Amino acid sequence: MPTTKIPPFQNETYKDYTQPRERKAMEAALKKTASQVGEIYPLVIGGEHLATSETIASRNPARPSEIVGNFAKGTVKHAEQALQSAAKAFETWSRVPFEKRANLLFKAAKIARRRRYEINAWMVREVGKNWAEADADTAEAIDFLEFYAREMLRLGGPQPLHQLKGEKDWLEYLPLGVGVIVPPWNFPFAILVGMSSAAIVTGNTVVLKPSSDSPMMGWLYHEIMEEAGLPAGVLNLLTAPGGEVGDYLVDSPITRFVSFTGSKQVGLRVAHNAAAPREGQKWIKRVVAEMGGKDAIVVARDADLDAAADGIVTSAYGFQGQKCSACSRAIIEEAVYPKMLQKIVERVNAIEVGDPLENKRVGPVVNERAYKSILSYIDIGRKEGRVVAGGEPAGMEGYYIKPTVVADIAPTARLAQEEIFGPVLAVIPVKNFDEAIEVANNTEYGLTGAVYSKSRKNIEKAEREFFVGNLYINRKCTGAMVGAHPFGGFNMSGTDSKAGGHDYLLLFMQAKSIAEKIEAKKPARKAQKGKSKR
């Protein structure tokens, strides 16, 4: 248990790489990781390190010939072994006092801080984030550890209820059981840590299957939790292709819940498969899913146009647009459309594209499959609108695509409806603010959105009618902060999980109400006058 009073939660401060000390520390971490590329990493099941005959190569998207690491390729047999290990560990971990579980997360946060530059460096190398984006990712992971530890201290133990006469009434939260954790590659440390740690601190045990594009982040998390004192079997690391083990993990009667972040297509498959009861299954499986978006920033005619242009470009091209919260649609009133388009294009043309190891603002997209898919969408954009910036590969080794702006897109065009997940912005003209909100709501998603306007009437309309899980007024639509912006969306964006908020841990627990009858106390007998008390 923590030995000192826990201070209020505060978000981590980002590193400032313009400072010589910070830059030198990051350069040293990058140099160190360069000497470690290509090493072999095992599965971790029940605390045992298991090698396999085949491996998964994690490649640097900036230079695909560089293998970041070779990770053991798990099979269905390993998946079953991991589930069994987690089920066995649940028998004891679920009974560990919640204070001890919370304290383990506090310890993990301290370790992650100590290893922060190292984590950042591996992330730059493995998925192509620039230094600032990588550091924000690691900082968010630390925030999750700190926030969820405090949340467990709040939710642990008997919860007060209205007391009926003659009863003692209370409620307590119990862990669910064995969970399958399937995080994405785009926030490869933050989301992985947040999903896994929430499940673990609430008393569950997990099988963690990181993305095959970012398995190093799963390995680093395993190391941190092991050093923090997590018992064997509570966290089982299974690096394996989702197409080969995913259905098996979801379908297993051992699995009690699935926490998934990824594409709509895979998320719907998870939800569908989890809904079907399997032989020997005693529960309805719970699915926590976040499945992407087609996010819009609306610019009213009365907006601060420079602030709006800055917000759009930052939201659209941060980490190459590979964020579920990225601005992929700019919806602009006709009265200011030409000016706004010019401001956006000027800013986009000034973006420097290059190797994230050199801390360029925009790096490569994550892999060859994404590269080809994004370029195909740009070709669609040429038919549906005007490519006014970018629109082609950046002409260097790696999966680089120039930040692209496609103007004059209709609200129902494919570029306005389908998630591209890359550095492509569709710009949509509308007649007025009412139409802008209608267009903003006309996709199947509902994750994030933003509005730039000085009009209180417009802002209040957006607050009422812009149907997204995370709405931002006069600021960018990316950069949700743990504790301040609980994150999760509506419609096909997922189950509105609200990660980093006060509701999140409840998704990994079930409430047990207990009422105990209290025997009424009998009044003490009085001694009769004149008679002995003997």
Q: Is the pLDDT of residue 533 over 70?
A: no
User: Region 15-26: what's the mean pLDDT?
Assistant: 98
Cα-Cα-Cα-Cα torsion 272, 276, 282, 285, nearest 10 degrees, comes to 0
Q: Is the pLDDT of residue 522 over 90?
A: no
Residue spans per domain, the chain: 43-130+144-291+494-515, 295-473
Q: Of the residues 12, 118, 151, 290, which is catalytic?
A: 290
360-406 pLDDT, tens digit each: 999 999 999 999 999 999 999 999 999 999 999 998 899 999 999 99
- Which fold, 43-130+144-291+494-515? Aldehyde Dehydrogenase; Chain A, domain 1 (3.40.605)
Sign of the alpha-carbon torsion through 484, 488, 490, 496: negative
Beta bridge partners, 448, equal 470
Comparing CA positions, the residue from 375, 387, 373 lying closest to residue 345 is: 387
Q: What is the pLDDT of residue 528?
A: 56
Angle (deg, nearest 10), helices 131-155 and 98-114: 160
Q: Of the residues 324, 333, 384, 477, which is catalytic?
A: 324
Q: What is the pLDDT of residue 317?
A: 98
Task: Give yes or no for a contact between 109 and 150, defined as CB atoms under 8 angstroms apart.
Answer: no
User: Region 43-55: what's the mean pLDDT?
Assistant: 98
Residues contacting residue 13 through CB under 8 Å, at least 6 positions apart: 139
d(CA 323, CA 320): 8
Rounded to a whole number, what is the largest CA-CA distance in the chain?
112
- The class level of CATH for 295-473 reads alpha beta
Q: Is the pLDDT of residue 525 over 80?
A: no
Residue 324 catalytic? yes
